[in-house]
Amino acid sequence: MRKKTQIGEIERSIYDIKDSSHASYQVAKGLTEEIVREISAGKHEPAWMLDLRLKSLEIFKNMDLPSWGPSLAELDMDQIVTYVKPEARMTDDWQELPEDIRNTFDRLGIPKAEQKSLSGVGAQYDSEVVYHSMQAELEAQGVIYTDMETALRDYEDIVKAHFMKLLLPREHKFMALHGAVWSGGSFVYVPAGVEVAMPLQSYFRLNAPGAGQFEHTLIICEKGSRLHFIEGCSAPRYNVLNLHAGGVELYVGEDAVLRYSTIENWSKNMLNLNSKRASVEKNGAIEWISGTFGSHITMLYPSSVLKGEYARSEYIGVSFASAGQFLDTGAKVIHAAPHTSSTMSSKSISKDGGNTTTRTSVTVHPKAKKSKSSVICEALMMDRSSRSDTIPAMDIRNDEVDIGHEAKIGRISEESIFYLMSRGLSEEEAKALIVRGFVEPVTKELPLEYAVEMNRLIGLELEGTIG
Amino acid sequence: MKLTNLNELQMPSWHWLNINDTELNLTADIGVAYLNKAECRNSSEIKLQPQADGEPIEALPADMQRMREFIAAHQNYSLTITIPQHVRLEQPVFLDFILDDMSPVLIDQLHIRAEKGSQADIVVTYRAAGNAVCFHGGFAYLEAAPDARVRLFKIQMLGSNDIHLDTTAVTAAEGGRGDVLTCELGGAQVISSCNIALAGAASSSNLDSLYLGSGRRRLDLNYRLEVRGTSSDGEIVVKGALSGSAKKTLKSTLDFISGASGARGREVETVLTLSDRVINLSAPLLLCGEDNVEGEHATTTGRPDEAKLYYLMSRGFSEKEAKRLLVEASFTPLLNKIPSDSLRGDILTKIQEVVHDEQ
């Protein structure tokens, strides 16, 4: 009897360790105007931010859950705690953090990565950022990297001009929710012409059971600047639902290049309903690198608005779903100017009843003449109890375009195994090579340490033959 | 009368795309008789019954089932065509409908039964004459029994103000083959769908569609290939040309059902755009609940190739003629399947009109 290719579960032991630390303060379960006012008052926010929160709350109350995508019927907002303040104050010294919080980030390898390969690090624990640090030389060049609350206090004009201007609360229910209860997140400002050599990384850790995390990341790259920003997220597993509805707004100036990498490994009790959008000016570029491994349900589609001539976007994503997971991921791009270009490359693996959906959209406006777009979706099915769906859409409104879409679905081909074996590899080596090669477009775009981490996450264990 | 939730995308997506479903405001009086005689040619070896039964069709999507019920409730023409066991027709069967001032409304229900081992080509044409604004609503069901091989051609050449609301369902049993080729060449608003169920082992089907969008024509096309049988094989090929301010929405779905081990499926869409005012929407879905399958999809859209245009123009063709030749070349693989020289000629004339008059 032929055996199937086996791909192991993602090794989660590091991520599943729960901290004993208690919150210093948290709001009551549910979502009310009082809770929203309480969060805002606790942060001593300006009136306009409270106003934005309250308007978002109204929109949230009046909007239905999405009628497309995986069912979110199990989400009961009355059981979610939207703000949990950890027993820690923000610092730039890991040693000043409470021991168990420090140990958590140690286990996740954040301080080590900071020393070896990062220009700066932000670490959020539940609803607040507890650590933020950046190399002094970047500060001297005018780079700002801080938590959102500090940015709102110290750079209010910049924040006010950009905050939730790309992610509009009325767009969908969870963007409205984010607008109402956002907390934490990172603010990055890169001045014109500054190239940040090593990446900045923000890590978001949700420890409290039944809680939501709603961090807001706002990045502004001025003309000719360059930045690689890495976002990591994880949480231990609980028997109650946790909710993540973060928001990411990226402003990419003329000739600027921003790479935004995400390795997401939420626990399987998490609803990950994140929103990300970039606006790209003339000759600018946004590069999305996305690895989605955890969560019970993910709905995540980074969106790029190509506003300036010759602006470009690139999306490379991989998702890996096993039992009980519904990973609905993909990307959106809007070509709003001439000569803009976009590529989307999506890879998904489903096993043991896991469900992956790749959802993409390409919109080309009438004035976006001579634009180009290429979308490639590839899905690997490991067994028939799993599911893999591809749902692309293209809305093309001028004729001077070059648009292509390709999708493929199937299992590992026996011909590929045979070819590699004819070149001297064992069957096991051949299969390992093919599966690693399948996700390689993502890993090769990450810094070495993160590529290793991602390969470890996938935890491929291959045995037997194809069949 | 407003018909809603037509041509539903099998798995809905973002609402802002306006692609999940469509609707039709129907102003025609649909309670009238179809007075013209539908001419059925080459029918000596087949059985014709002037009614179509309403037996359930397995796995018909909800929107198409509603269409079937609407057609059944308002039909003014129905026919069952039976191709007896092991009968292989040498000549195609033609069924020609003309809508005109006397009979501007046709609501037809057709049932084509291809019995075991039979073989036939059925060509159904819809044309308009006169000045009246015409409405055609139709539902056709093609059953391919084991080892039957049937090709159904539906050629729509209504007038530029007419409305065409059409659904085709196909079921192919073990070893059966049910091919469909639709040509959507006329009409102001075209809402057309086709569902092919490859139900039996080693069943197969090609769903080919050819469309022309010109003027302010609105085309909403929804094609689905449900792959259920083991080692079944299917293909959706859609080729179109858009000019003027035409809008086309194509939803095509390749759906591999769990258990369809060894099945293969392909979707290919090619769109030639001849005007900068056209709107071209596509949602090619690839759905999979079975690991041992091969499924793929490809879409290309854009202007006719400039190098080819330049070559043809360097050989003395005008730009419009060169474009017409390239559109014809794109359509030729599908056109060649149509078993009628005169029909192919009519279609080529339509292409010429579109390319010459609507840029």
Are the CB atoms for B197 and B180 separated by under 8 Å? Answer: no
> Chain centroid to CA B101: how far?
26
Element (H, E) at A441: helix A427-443
Say if B14 is an interface residue toward chain A (CB within 8 Å): yes
In this predicted structure, what is the pLDDT of residue A161? 98
Cβ within 8 Å, pair B11-A369? no
Cβ within 8 Å, pair A361-B14? yes
Q: Please give the residue of chain A at the shortest CA–CA distance from B251.
A: A393
**Total number of domains in chain B:** 1
How near does any CA of chain B get to the CA of A393, in Å?
A: 4
Interface predicted TM-score of the whole assembly (ipTM), two decimals? 0.91
How near does any CA of chain B get to the CA of A247, in Å?
A: 19
Cα(B192)–Cα(B128) distance, integer angstroms = 17
Say if B72 is an interface residue toward chain A (CB within 8 Å): no
How near does any CA of chain B get to the CA of A209, in Å?
A: 31
State yes or no: pLDDT of A229 exceeds 50: yes
Say if A409 is an interface residue toward chain B (CB within 8 Å): yes
Two structure tokens written together for A209:
């059971």
Nearest partner of B339 among B89, B91, B87, B19, judged by Cα: B91
SS3 string, chain B, reads CEEEEECCCCCCCCHHHCCCCEEEECCCCCCCCCCCCCEEECCCCCEEECCCCCCCCCCCCHHHHHHHHHHHHHCCEEEEEEECCCCECCCCEEEEEEECCCCCEEEEEEEEEECCCCEEEEEEEEEECCCCCCEEEEEEEEEECCCCEEEEEEEEECCCCCEEEEEEEEEECCCCEEEEEEEECCCCEEEEEEEEEECCCCCEEEEEEEEEECCCCEEEEEEEEEECCCCCEEEEEEEEEECCCCEEEEEEEEEECCCCCCEEEEEEEEEEECCCCCEEEEEEEEEECCCCEEEEEEEEEECCCHHHHHHHHHCCCCHHHHHHHHHHHHHHHHHCCCCCHHHHHHHHHHHHHHHHHCC
Cβ within 8 Å, pair A408-B295? yes
Cα(A343)–Cα(A287) distance, integer angstroms = 10
Q: Which of A386, A391, A410 sits opposite B293 (nearest CB)?
A: A410
Say if A11 is an interface residue toward chain B (CB within 8 Å): no
Are the CB atoms for A111 and A123 separated by under 8 Å? Answer: no
Two structure tokens written together for A224:
């000719």
Answer yes or no: is B320 within a domain.
Answer: no
Say if B295 is an interface residue toward chain A (CB within 8 Å): yes
Cα(A246)–Cα(A447) distance, integer angstroms = 24
Cα(B178)–Cα(B144) distance, integer angstroms = 6
Q: Which of A387, A405, A406 sits opposite B288 (nearest CB)?
A: A387
Q: Which residue type does B226 have?
A: E
Does A123 or A427 have the greater pLDDT score?
A: A123
Q: Which of A359, A386, A408 sits opposite B13 (nearest CB)?
A: A359
pLDDT in tens, A391-412: 999 999 998 898 888 888 877 7
How near does any CA of chain A get to the CA of B294, in Å?
A: 5
Q: Which residue type does A259 have?
A: R
Question: Which residues of chain B lie closer than 8 angstroms to A409, CB-CB?
Answer: 256, 286, 288, 293-296
Are the CB atoms for B58 and B87 separated by under 8 Å? Answer: no
Cβ within 8 Å, pair A405-B276? no
Answer yes or no: is B349 within a domain.
Answer: no
Cβ within 8 Å, pair A389-B295? no
**% of chain A exceeding 70 in pLDDT:** 90
Are the CB atoms for A194 and A225 separated by under 8 Å? Answer: yes
> Chain centroid to CA B70: how far?
19
When pLDDT is averaged across residues A263-291 and rounded to a whole number, the result is 94
In this predicted structure, what is the pLDDT of residue A383? 82
- Identify from A344, A391, A402 which residue to disrupt to test chain B contact, counting B C-beta atoms within 10 A and taking the largest count: A391
State yes or no: pLDDT of A465 exceeds 50: no
| pTM assigned to the model | 0.91
Nearest partner of B290 among A465, A377, A389, A437, judged by Cα: A389
For residue B120, CA distances in Å to B115, B233, B237 come to 10, 20, 21
Say if A370 is an interface residue toward chain B (CB within 8 Å): no
- Beta strand B77-83 with B47-49: parallel, antiparallel or unpaired? antiparallel
Which domain covers residue B111, as residue numbers? 2-304
Cα(A214)–Cα(A126) distance, integer angstroms = 9
- Angle A398-A400-A405 from CA coordinates, rounded to 5°: 85
Nearest partner of A335 among A370, A384, A378, A379, judged by Cα: A370
Q: Please give the residue of chain A at the shortest CA–CA distance from B257.
A: A384
Does B34 or A22 have the greater pLDDT score?
A: B34
In this predicted structure, what is the pLDDT of residue A399? 87
State yes or no: pLDDT of A18 exceeds 80: no
When pLDDT is averaged across residues A168-196 and rounded to a whole number, the result is 96
Q: Residue A281: CB partners within 8 Å, gap ≥ 6?
A: A223, A252, A253, A254, A256, A307, A308, A311
Answer yes or no: is B240 within a domain.
Answer: yes
How near does any CA of chain B get to the CA of A413, in Å?
A: 10
In this predicted structure, what is the pLDDT of residue A124? 86
Say if B48 is an interface residue toward chain A (CB within 8 Å): no
How near does any CA of chain B get to the CA of A429, in Å?
A: 22
Task: Produce one character per residue of A108-126: b if its CB has 16 or more CB atoms within 10 Å, e if not.
Answer: bbbbebbeeebbbbbbbbb
Report chain B (359 residues): mean pLDDT per 10 consecutive residues: 94 92 90 85 86 82 94 95 95 95 96 97 95 96 97 96 97 97 96 97 97 94 97 97 94 95 94 91 94 89 86 90 88 94 91 70
Cα(B128)–Cα(B103) distance, integer angstroms = 10
Say if A64 is an interface residue toward chain B (CB within 8 Å): no
Question: Which residues of chain A lie closer than 8 angstroms to B283, CB-CB?
Answer: 391-394
Break chain A into its structural domains and give their ranges. Answer: 23-412, 413-467
**What is the band of A455 on the pLDDT scale with cuts at 50, 70, 90?**
low
- Reduce the DSSP state of residue A180 to 3 states and report it: helix
Say if B38 is an interface residue toward chain A (CB within 8 Å): no
Measured over the CA atoms of residue A268, residue A270, residue A273 and residue A276, the dihedral's sign is: negative
Torsion of CA A410, A412, A415, A418, to 10 degrees: -170
In this predicted structure, what is the pLDDT of residue A342? 97
Answer yes or no: is B113 within a domain.
Answer: yes
Cα(A226)–Cα(A208) distance, integer angstroms = 35
Cα(A328)–Cα(A292) distance, integer angstroms = 10
How near does any CA of chain A get to the CA of B95, in Å?
A: 36
When pLDDT is averaged across residues A238-254 and rounded to a whole number, the result is 93
Answer yes or no: is B290 within a domain.
Answer: yes
Q: Which of B12, B261, B302 sits opposite A67 (nearest CB)?
A: B12
Answer yes or no: is B187 within a domain.
Answer: yes
In this predicted structure, what is the pLDDT of residue A448? 65
Question: Which residues of chain B lie closer than 8 angstroms to A389, CB-CB?
Answer: 11, 285-288
Are the CB atoms for A263 and A289 separated by under 8 Å? Answer: no
Tokens 């089932």 appear where? B65
Cβ within 8 Å, pair B292-A411? yes
Are the CB atoms for A51 and A36 separated by under 8 Å? Answer: no
Cβ within 8 Å, pair A369-B298? no
Q: Which of B12, B280, B295 sits opposite A410 (nearest CB)?
A: B295
Element (H, E) at A272: strand A270-272
- Identify from A389, A413, A435 which residue to disrupt to test chain B contact, counting B C-beta atoms within 10 A and taking the largest count: A389
